[in-house]
Amino acid sequence: MGQKTEEALVGLDGLKLGRREFGGLGMGVAAAAATLGTASLVSRAARAAGDKIKVGILHSLSGTMAISEAPLKDVMLMLIDQQNKTMGGVMGKELVPVVVDPASNWPLFAEKAHELLSVEKVAAIFGCWTSVSRKSVLPVFEQLNGILYYPVQYEGQECSRNVFYTGAAPNQQAIPAVDYLMNQVGVKRWVLAGTDYVYPRTTNKILEAYLKQKGVNSADIMINYTPFGYSNWQSIIAEIKSFGSAGKKTAVVSTINGDANVPFYKELGNQGIKATDIPVVAFSVGEQELAGIDTAPLVGQLAAWNYFESVDTPANKKFIADFKAFVKNDKRVTNDPMEAHYIGFNMWVKAVEKAGTTDPTSVIDAMIGVAHPNLTGDFATMMPNHHLSKPVLIGEVQANGQFSVVYQTPGLVVAQPWSPYLPESKNLIGDWLPPMSCGNYDVVAGRCLGRTQKS
Amino acid sequence: MTEGNRGKGRRLGRLLLLCLGFALFRPAPAAAADPFAGLASPDFSRIEQAVEALAASGNPRAAALIDALAANRLYTWRWPRPDNGLFIKEPDGGFVAARTGEKIATPPFPVIRPVIVNDMVRSAIEAARGMLDLLSPALAVRGKAAEALFEAADPASLKLIDVALARERNPGVRRLLLEAQAAARLNSAATSIAERIAAVKVVAGRGDLPARALLASLGSAPSPVARAAAAAVHQIDRTLALWNVLETVYYGISLGSVLLLAAAGLAITFGVMGVINMAHGEIVMVGAYTTLVVQQVVAATFPAFSNESLILSIPAAFLVAGLLGIVIEQTLIRFLYGRPLETLLATWGLSLVLIQTVRSIFGPTNQDVSSPAWMSGAVHLGGLTLTLNRLWIIAFTIATLALLMAVLSHTRLGLSMRAVTQNRRMAAAMGIRTPLVDALTFGLGCGIAGIAGVALSQIDNVSPNLGQSYIIDSFLVVVFGGVGNLWGAVVAALILGIVNMVLEPIAGAVLGKIAVLVLLILFIQRRPRGLFPVRGRAVEA
């Protein structure tokens, strides 16, 4: 790209940004940012002027998602506690956690985020689990210029300046898992089974496009959706069984979420389908979900994550021991989103120290390029698209509720938030470094789509 | 049935051949390669080959090694070394050298890692263990091995099948072996076209899914064979379509029985007494948690009987839920008779209290209620696969309902209940203590709900939210069937179950449910009193 076009791009982009800020942030803030930059910086500094920095934790502690989200609150409290005890906080200031309970209620997530940013004036927020809760808080963060660390694998097709996605994008979980089944297990026929909401639907759309590109016939793909908490699996399992009897190796790619998984695996076991007949690879079943259920019918089934509790590294051993000691319960487990928070929190600390302030604009810029060791070895780096580079692990369920790793990507996988397999996003990239500074840049049209294309 | 199975069976065939070869000719042991070496490799396909080689090698340590591998007790150097060291972790925590079985004094723990097993290796292990099965004295084991050979359909196993056929006396296993022979001939280039077409007929005679899978994979065979196979697949599909109808009906009955069980208690409290009990689902949940507690107590005190703890849970859940019901009636509901709106609100509040109480005591996570062995697995009936847990629940529902009807129509308590609900003042005038009967009726309804919790703990998650997923369905069944009519509830539950299961494959689970609800709303608009309205004076009371 020539010098001239690049300049033109900056100009265009800057104009767009200006307009967006104007509309989105409201006149006062935009004016302050534009003309009274120093004054606003001073007021921001004054916010953190005491000897304390507030950190928001936005995870459901009640309702249906409490099972998954409540442990993440414990991890955050532990990380903040460790930071205060060992390093004396950040920049000599003590960190204070502010915990709120959005109660698995999506609109309440937005309200609580608003409260944390505008009333509590927290420096950063660690939170959300379901994609619908993230979509609900997104406008709040963009309007108030907050920072959200989102720790869960998700469906991609999003790249906000105010969010750091520390979980996996589809190409860091779903695609490698399908590759493993295709190349190592020799699967030719695919069942894409999911719970009926945005994450499974988008992921399956991407996977379907990917499989077709790999030469799989649409007759060899079966897609099935079920409601949350579904328990009457018998006819669907029977359907999968007859789908699997076409003389080709069949596998199930499961984006089934939450409670529905236990009856699903039980029914598989009862109908006599073993992992060696029709393997199931799941994207939402981790150590936390297996805790407290009878794992006998699940042994040998697969899951794809970027972290497993069973990975044997000194850093992971210490993390597990620390967590068990902190919650004073030897039976608690660690899982992938916990590692994501561990990495995200440490990166935030580094970025604040690098920027020398907790001012969101400076911290967001400082975040890019920050690296921190994964618990499973190697380094995670925050890329300009606000996603991490991650190793992808495929594990098989063991009788003790843990996973044994059967496959690992040779190196780290860099996230592609915009799926190259879907026509509407194949030309898009996210890059929050200047001169691009855009979450959805269309490389063919050569322009930033701005807010219009956020799905 | 699938390639995984076929791969397993093919390996089995190969191993058996090797084994027979060894048995017949007793060759000198292969001196060249170390059969153990591949196990120390990080590459799954080499581990798999090593397992096969080891099983065929006749090495006396093979069995111990393969068992250790299957149990994740086999260890090797963390970083490869030329000696490909292998160690077995003993149950006492010590280590022995895998090749010799000698004890190792100082465990090399920090520098070793477990040998990891994946599905591929696991099927090789299964095949290796199953190698001797075809010659096993146990009938069932031989049958299973023959079945695996059928699914493998490997021409290499033809000789082996001949040997086994010559020895086999049991007609059932003989038939399986003949089918396996036919399956192996399908893919054999050495077999004549006529013989292969005959084999297609034998395989097609089974008429089940594995046979269909086998025949469907014959597309690239010589055209007369492929034509015969295609015709056979078509024939099987027609038969299977018939079985499918039966299967759908069975699934419908099974879903209906779950709905009925959940609704039976409500049919008493709401149907007979007219109390809108929004906490009904939570009483079911209390029953499920009672099952959990009983299971834990039995496992802690009499571990030998843990398989039977479920039977003990039934009376326990009935008593706990029934007593809870009586307490609720005495402290809450009896002050609200004749005020349906207040009852609805009060019981809804009560349901929240119960959910939060259980969450505080047992935590928000799912609890592990394991299924006893006699409730796991399935029976095969023609082309049907009937899962045992669902069969038991159907039987259990019938038994519960029969008992409930017997109580209502043949006991003094039942007579009083019907009298009080039909005409309270007249019953009181006849000397029936109506407050006591009210409390007992409500207790009975809640007790039945508790029993439903025992059954639901076997097919659903035991969590504080268990009841919420059943409360709406329960009300639907009772209202659809006609308030106050137990038989109406039976018919309604079966209709709802079957319609749901018929719609599900056509419209998907989500749309199917919506369609059922829309149909129900239309029906209730036409007939607000349900399928079987109760006529007579009771309605006016």
ipTM: 0.70
Which residues of chain A neighbour B381 with C-beta distances below 8 Å?
A: none
Within a 13 Å sphere around the CA of B296, how many CA atoms are in the beta-carbon half?
A: 10
Assess whether the region A3-167+319-390 and the region A174-282 belong to the same CATH fold.
yes
A244:B2 CB<8 A: yes
Cα distance from N-terminal residue to C-terminal residue, chain B: 62
Decide if pLDDT at A17 tops 50.
no
B389:A230 CB<8 A: no
The per-residue pLDDT for B464 is 87
Of 3.30.70.20, 3.30.1360.30, 3.40.50.2300, 3.40.250.10, the CATH number of A3-167+319-390 is 3.40.50.2300
Residues 110-129 (A) with a CB less than 8 A from some CB of B: none
Q: How far is the C-alpha of B54 from the C-alpha of B64, rounded, in Å?
A: 11
The pair phi, psi for residue A394, each rounded to 5°, is -110, 125
A239:B371 CB<8 A: no
A218-232, A249-263, A357-371, range with greatest mean pLDDT = A357-371
Split at pLDDT 50, 70, 90, the class of A411 is: confident
Domains of chain B: 3-129 (no CATH), 136-221 (no CATH), 243-540 (1.10.3470)
Predicted model pTM: 0.75
A245:B118 CB<8 A: no
Domain ranges of chain A: 3-167+319-390, 174-282
The pair phi, psi for residue B306, each rounded to 5°, is -65, -25
The per-residue pLDDT for B136 is 67
Within an 8 Å CB–CB cutoff, is residue A223 touching chain B? no
The per-residue pLDDT for A90 is 92
Mean per-residue pLDDT over chain A, rounded: 85
Q: What pLDDT, in 10s, does the model give residues A23-59?
A: 444 444 444 444 444 444 444 444 444 689 999 999 9
**Among A249, A259, A271, whose Cβ lies nearest the Cβ of B3?**
A249
The per-residue pLDDT for B422 is 79
CATH 3.40.50.2300 corresponds to the domain A174-282: yes
Q: How far is the C-alpha of B262 from the C-alpha of A409, rounded, in Å?
A: 48
B366:A229 CB<8 A: no
Mean pLDDT of A385-406: 90
Dihedral class, residue B431 (left if φ above 0, else alpha if ψ from -120 to 50, else beta): left
Q: Report the percent of chain A where pLDDT is more than 70.
A: 87
Which residues of chain A neighbour B2 with C-beta distances below 8 Å?
A: 244-245, 249-250, 277-278
Q: What pLDDT, in 10s, does the model give residues A231-277?
A: 889 889 989 988 988 878 899 999 998 778 888 988 888 888 888 88
**Residue B134: strand, helix, or coil:** helix
Question: In whole angstroms, how far apart are CA B113 and each of B41, B42, B309?
Answer: 11, 10, 40
Do residues B432 and B420 touch, judged by C-beta distance below 8 A? yes
**Among B4, B5, B505, whose Cβ lies nearest the Cβ of A239?**
B505
A293:B368 CB<8 A: yes
Mean pLDDT of A436-445: 86
Instruction: Give me the average pLDDT of each 10-residue run along chain B (541 residues).
Output: 49 53 43 69 81 70 79 81 82 80 72 79 72 67 79 72 79 87 81 84 83 80 82 87 88 92 90 87 95 92 85 95 95 89 93 90 80 83 82 94 91 89 85 91 94 91 86 90 85 92 85 89 88 62 41
A259:B463 CB<8 A: yes
Helix A198-213 to helix A131-144 angle (10° resolution) is 100
A230:B509 CB<8 A: yes
**CB atoms inside a 10 Å sphere around CB B373:** 9
Q: How far is the C-alpha of A287 from the C-alpha of A285, rounded, in Å?
A: 7
Q: How far is the C-alpha of B539 from the C-alpha of B541, rounded, in Å?
A: 6
Q: How far is the C-alpha of A23 from the C-alpha of A450, rounded, in Å?
A: 12
Q: What is the 3-state secondary structure (H, E, C) of chain A?
A: CCHHHHHHHHHHHHHHHHHHHHHHHCHHHHHHHHHCHHHHHHHHHHHCCCCEEEEEEECCCCCCCHHHHHHHHHHHHHHHHHHHHHHCCECCEEEEEEEECCCCCHHHHHHHHHHHHHHCCCCEEEECCCHHHHHHHHHHHHHHCCCEEECCCCCCCCCCCCEEECCCCHHHCHHHHHHHHHHHHCCCEEEEEEECCHHHHHHHHHHHHHHHHCCCCHHHEEEEEECCCCCCCHHHHHHHHHHCCCCCCEEEEEECCHHHHHHHHHHHHHCCCCCCCCCEEECCCCHHHHCCCCCHHHCCCEEEECCCCCCCCHHHHHHHHHHHHHHCCCCCCCCHHHHHHHHHHHHHHHHHHHHCCCCHHHHHHHHCCCEEECCCCCEEEECCCCEEEECCEEEEECCCCCEEEEEECCCCEECCCCCCCCCCCCCEEEECCCCCCEEEEECCCCEECHHHHCC
Within an 8 Å CB–CB cutoff, is residue A276 touching chain B? yes
Which residues of chain A neighbour B116 with C-beta distances below 8 Å?
A: 404-406
Q: What pLDDT, in 10s, does the model give residues B487-524?
A: 889 999 999 999 988 888 888 888 888 899 999 999 98
Dihedral sign of CA atoms B467, B470, B474, B475 in order: positive
